[in-house]
Structure 1
């Protein structure tokens, strides 16, 4: 792919060096939006029109919160979504739901079943993207759950093969992304958390990605986000993936796996998680600067994207906001140090 990161540099960017800052996707929902959802679910008095207005207001609010934090690329924090598989399965023909499944602690989600051929019946994210792009002053990223995870985290009652199902879903994702690109989207993130739990299927994910990018025009940036797992089992094979950016969750493991990527030439840009989304402790700017410099051990500054480890939706909103604000400040400070020569391109302090 040829998704040029310079297109995302703000016109008023203060430094010569540019570390692209963004988020992985999800963000804590305002308390009032959760209350509005309950009212909409339980009362005809809070109708669809009222619910749509509430979601629009939340999307506008969180997009602005991201921009005020200084992010170069924003999203609306997935205000229109709840669970990352269920949201898409409800929009794909061939899926049905049979009730909630317990996934961790006291949390449940409606795990879907594929009961017939999957079909693309309606746009999944077009409304979300167009609304966010309209209210945002910065470029907008679109996170989308990948076909391998959509297949792996569903019951298959139709295909008899997760691999075949994943390829069929990849074709649908391609159709969805083509529509998003037509609407103006230029930064797409494919989320494949299931790859971290079953990394032997890296070739299946690679074929899915090939199908996803088929026919897309130049200038569309494709990122792949994979949650914490054994990255050594998919590297260096991921160098062959048709992606611009590989986004990893390493802050919560104190970068103990970073050396996986230093042994061979790392091909894509590195999307490095520099704040831990599993703790409410807010990392200091100085701590995050040190984390960013870890990424410079793998790629030069022009190939480094800075983000949280993963989505931050399970954090208190004030904590999430503070982590992102400190992350942006840290990125700008590291850029200053790179400009002055205090840090060389290898991440070492001079």
Structure 2
């Protein structure tokens, strides 16, 4: 894949620095309180708030959060997943073969409406094209589309129809490929596959690799495909995951104080690194200086032209003002690091500039 040209298509024409570190978000963002209230009204059978009102509320929330991401200065934005409820449940409702039997308690007081696969999964209507087209029309900057990956969709569901989760994941991967083809036709050029289940069940990394081969089949080189992974022991999947047909790996590392950073320096990191530099699990806004230090850690793994900067994960559980503060400080920190790179004030470690011929 043509990684650098693939990333540089998202560089703003008026970018202030010679160096460019792409800034984006993982996906989810806190919903406005009024949107949650609107959902309650819509679900109240005794209230006059109808489907048209609910659709308008979601449209307004998407416009608001997309603009909020742009106001923070992000290079690539999403709508904060304002139309989505949960990363597996949202897609399971749109895939034939799934059904729901009630919520399952996952931790504390949190519940997840865990779906069951009761028949062969099939693709019916598009899942995300309308969402993408609406956001792209509302945005002044490029839009990324996050999609829950087939391995997680299989692993976090009850399987009552397939011989094993591997067979289910492969069928789901074919459906994801079909959806991405429709997104590409609609103009999408940045797709993120979310596979949080990968690092928690690392023995199945070969299954995820086969899923990604199916997903990427026939997708043009100018479409950037990223893989978001979090919550696990990366040493159990690296460097094997470098064989995946993706352009970037989006990794949660700030939450663990970068304890696993050395995993990615032992073997050359041959793809782009989307580095988490703010913690999605702490309701404190990191300072610009602290974030700059985190950004520089990414330069220990890859050179600037292959570094992307984002939060660790989706930030939907944070207070909204905290989430915005993190995004705003993240962008400011990145622009300052770029200027320091231009001035030669930051020395990029030689290890991050290795090529296979050097080994």
Q: For this structure pair, what is the TM-score category when the shorter chain's length is used for normalisation?
A: over 0.9
Aligned residue in 1 for 2:176: 173
Query: What RMSD over aligned residues (CA atoms) do the two structures have, in Å?
Result: 1.1
Aligned residue in 1 for 2:356: none
1:2 and 2:5 equivalent?
Answer: no
More divergent stretch after superposition (1-10 vs 146-155): 1-10
- In 1, the alpha carbon distance for the partners of 2:259 and 2:231 equals 11
1:327 and 2:327 equivalent?
Answer: no
- In 2, the alpha carbon distance for the partners of 1:160 and 1:238 equals 26
Show structure 2 runs of 5+ residues with no match: 352-359
Of 172, 184, 189 in structure 1, the residue corresponding to residue 187 of structure 2 is 184
Aligned residue in 1 for 2:357: none
**Which SS does the other structure have where 2:197 is aligned?**
helix
Deviation at 1:265, TM superposition (A): 1.0
CA contact (8 A) 1:293 1:347 kept: no
More divergent stretch after superposition (43-52 vs 30-39): 43-52
Aligned residue in 2 for 1:21: 23
1:297 and 2:335 equivalent?
Answer: no
Aligned residue in 2 for 1:230: 233
Show the 5 A alignment for 1:201-220. 201-220=204-223
Displacement over 4 Å in runs of 4+: none
The two structures have a TM-score, normalised by structure 2, of 0.96
- In 1, the alpha carbon distance for the partners of 2:67 and 2:336 equals 23
Deviation at 1:345, TM superposition (A): 2.4
1:96 and 2:72 equivalent?
Answer: no
- In 1, the alpha carbon distance for the partners of 2:250 and 2:231 equals 10
1:275 and 2:278 equivalent?
Answer: yes
- In 2, the alpha carbon distance for the partners of 1:280 and 1:241 equals 34
**Which SS does the other structure have where 1:84 is aligned?**
coil
Of 157, 164, 167 in structure 2, the residue corresponding to residue 164 of structure 1 is 167
Show the 5 A alignment for 1:1-350. 1-2=1-2, 4-43=6-45, 44-346=47-349
CA contact (8 A) 1:19 1:302 kept: yes
- In 2, the alpha carbon distance for the partners of 1:169 and 1:16 equals 42
Show structure 1 runs of 5+ residues with no match: none
- In 2, the alpha carbon distance for the partners of 1:131 and 1:31 equals 22
Count of matched residue positions in the alignment of Structure 1 and Structure 2 = 348
Aligned residue in 1 for 2:354: none
The two structures have a TM-score, normalised by structure 1, of 0.98
